[in-house]
Chain A
Amino acid sequence: MAVRDYLRERFFPHIWCPGCGHGVVLNSLLRTVEELGFTKNQIAVVSGIGCSSRISGYVDFHTLHTLHGRALAFATGLKLQKPDLRVIVPMGDGDALAIGGNHFLHAARRNIDLTAIVMNNRTYGMTGGQYSPLSGVGTAATTAPYGNIDPGFDTVRLAAAAGATFVARTTTYHVQQLVKILGEAIQHQGFSVVEVLSQCPTYFGRKNKAGSAVDMMRQFKDQTTPVGSEAKQSNPALIERGVFVREQRPEYCAAYDEVVRRAQGGR
């Protein structure tokens, strides 16, 4: 099946600005599903609110476009009710880690089998470029006209500390790595987190004089390094990409099956 067969083409054109990185994530996600050989009926995409969350409308899977920050909570109910579904939860950085931060932590703690994709463009694009919990100190935003003083989260360390059993990071520049990581994340039994650095040339890029979409993707190339590389030793400012956590822990739905067994008199 070609990638376009997974798209709901009659709902195009999409709402994303020219140069937006989210289309790269969409493309990579569909290639991943195709490579894994899943049928459309096996996949559910649950999203929140924001530019990234519009991804659900464009894909021909079971799609649930929910509330800002709450996608993981909806997905938790869905997954418990239908554990055989592969549930993918694309979120923006504000969606996942500001308004939805608590749900993110608790989904990771439970190790419920969802694939969280944090499409990190370091801004609230849909509302016009306010600072997010991943913007970082010193960045410019419409709500930080004198420079942002809010330190950013490190998504990878946060997810790992909260108990996610698969944690990875890559960028829209590294599309082959993105497909590989998404494939592993979707197949992983447990809560998986994939942070994807995604460019927003319209708001974050313009406000921060980061250049065009191409310039921003080049920065992803220049400012990142494979996890554990020697380059990181000599240049600590580099952002590591790759798989950071890959471990096995009881998955929540499977653990609940055990609760049912005990409740029904099993030993």
Chain B
Amino acid sequence: MSEQVRFVQGNEACVEAALYAGLGFFAGYPITPSTEIAELLALKLPQRGGKFIQMEDEISSMCAIIGASLAGGKAMTATSGPGFSLMQEALGYAIMTEIPCIIVNVQRGGPSTGLPTHVAQGDVNQTRWGVHGDHSIIVLTASSAQDVFAMTVEAFNLAETYRTPVILLFDEVVAHTRERLLVPEPGVLPLVERLTTSVPENVNYHPYLPREDGRLPMSDFGGIHRYNVTGLFHDMWGFPTEDPKTVHELLRHLVDKIENRTHIIAHYQTYHVEDAEFLIISYGCSARSARQLVEDRRLRGDRIGLLELQTLWPFPAHIVQQLSAGKKAVIVAEMNTGQVTASVKAAADDPDRVFLANRLDGQFITHYDIRNVLRLVQGKGV
């Protein structure tokens, strides 16, 4: 067998995938339930000649990975809610300056210190709108160690392709559940390497001048080209500008480069959706229970299917609209007060047929919790 079989936590699957994707630099700060990612990378990165640093807080961790990525290394940090809140300003800087990097947020109960060792999915909208100012962002999630691996590799690929930070939004259950992982042989999963400029030394390089295909080739900061990078609105040289046309075009570019490619970036899985009368939409740990419910009810003859979202942002409204059309009801299973539910209602032809099945008490949502909502919707008693 060519693949390597492992028995790992989701956090370890994330580490294995990051190394598979070519991670060269990690900066982080300890926080439950993400800490295993930092611990494992402290062990494994230097074995490959990479760099690990434990910074003084999450603010500096985010700043350090931006500095390292700009200089040419694939860079990542990992945190949970409180730390993710601290990272927002620098995350906006990475968006504005178009520096690829990966931020893992292993969700726990919030707000504030909340429930550090318990599960929740309350950060979905923060990943989209935590940064001030208009922008767009890519957020991926996963429900199993195997999918954590796949989505982590994909996050690195999307970050390099679109020159943007990508958030991996996991949760405590997926991060700490031990299960089987098949680590693919090198070369099996495609990797996107950094697009570097062909401009030779001693010729002016414009860090923000797009090629014909819209992509912005990079030049390792501190290398053969000297240029400026700023979080201010900037021109193709990277120099501050208040020119209205340039400002408008940059903001449109930052949003459109992601929003216009929603159909490419959308990752999802479907189970029994073809003939379904009822559709469950879920993601992350909640999707594990949703899948259990679908399998149970199918055995009883219920025509029920599952759409598991793996790309949360940009929101795959076209998929949701298409799969929810004509259903008797759509139930969104998530561990928050309805953050994805709101996006599903906005995408669905009939928002009145969209219902929420949730848990807010730090306890993992079960297939019974979702079944109870299904039965209410079906007009049956719980």
Q: A11-B239, A81-B73, A106-B56 are in contact. Are A65 and B230 (CB under 8 A)?
A: yes
Task: For B46, list chain A residues within 8 Å (CB).
Answer: 256, 259-260, 262-264
Task: For B228, list chain A residues within 8 Å (CB).
Answer: 56-57, 63-65
Q: A76-B60, A103-B56 are in contact. Are A81 and B68 (CB under 8 A)?
A: yes
Q: Is A122 an interface residue (CB 8 A)?
A: no
Q: Is A77 an interface residue (CB 8 A)?
A: yes
Q: Which among B53, B72, B226 is the interface contact of A60 at CB below 8 angstroms?
A: B226
Q: A73-B64, A77-B65, A82-B71 are in contact. Are A64 and B229 (CB under 8 A)?
A: yes
Chain A facing B: main interface SS: helix
Bound complex: CA of A102 vs CA of B59, how far in Å?
11
Bound complex: CA of A256 vs CA of B24, how far in Å?
14
- Contact across chains for B66 and A74 when beta carbons are under 8 A apart: yes
A166 to chain B, nearest CB (A): 21
Q: Is B75 an interface residue (CB 8 A)?
A: yes
Bound complex: CA of A44 vs CA of B93, how far in Å?
19
- Contact across chains for A260 and B49 when beta carbons are under 8 A apart: yes
| Count of chain B residues near A, Cβ 8 A | 44
A57 to chain B, nearest CB (A): 6
Bound complex: CA of A66 vs CA of B221, how far in Å?
14
Q: A77-B63, A264-B47 are in contact. Are A62 and B226 (CB under 8 A)?
A: yes
Task: For B67, list chain A residues within 8 Å (CB).
Answer: 46, 64, 73-79, 81
- Contact across chains for A57 and B71 when beta carbons are under 8 A apart: no
> Using a Cβ cutoff of 8 Å, how many contacts connect chains A and B?
127
Q: Which among B25, B230, B239 is the interface contact of A81 at CB below 8 angstroms?
A: B25
B187-234 interface with A by 8 A CB criterion: 220-224, 226-232
Q: Is B338 an interface residue (CB 8 A)?
A: no
Q: Which among A67, A105, A256 is the interface contact of B63 at CB below 8 angstroms?
A: A67
Q: Is B326 an interface residue (CB 8 A)?
A: no
**Residue among A60, A77, A256, A259 with max Cβ neighbours from chain B (10 Å):** A77
Interface residues of A (CB under 8 A from B): 11, 40-41, 44, 46, 56-57, 60-67, 70, 72-82, 85, 102-103, 105-106, 256, 259-260, 262-264
Ordered by A's residue number, 18 sampled pairs between the chains whose C-beta atoms are within 8 Å are A41-B224, A44-B222, A62-B226, A63-B227, A67-B63, A67-B93, A73-B60, A74-B63, A76-B53, A77-B53, A77-B68, A79-B67, A81-B24, A82-B222, A102-B60, A103-B60, A106-B55, A256-B53
Given pairs A73-B67, A77-B75, 6 additional interface contacts (CB within 8 A): A57-B239, A62-B227, A64-B228, A66-B63, A70-B60, A76-B60
Across the A-B interface, the 10 shortest Cβ-Cβ residue pairs = A77-B67, A77-B64, A73-B60, A73-B63, A263-B46, A78-B67, A65-B230, A77-B68, A81-B71, A81-B68
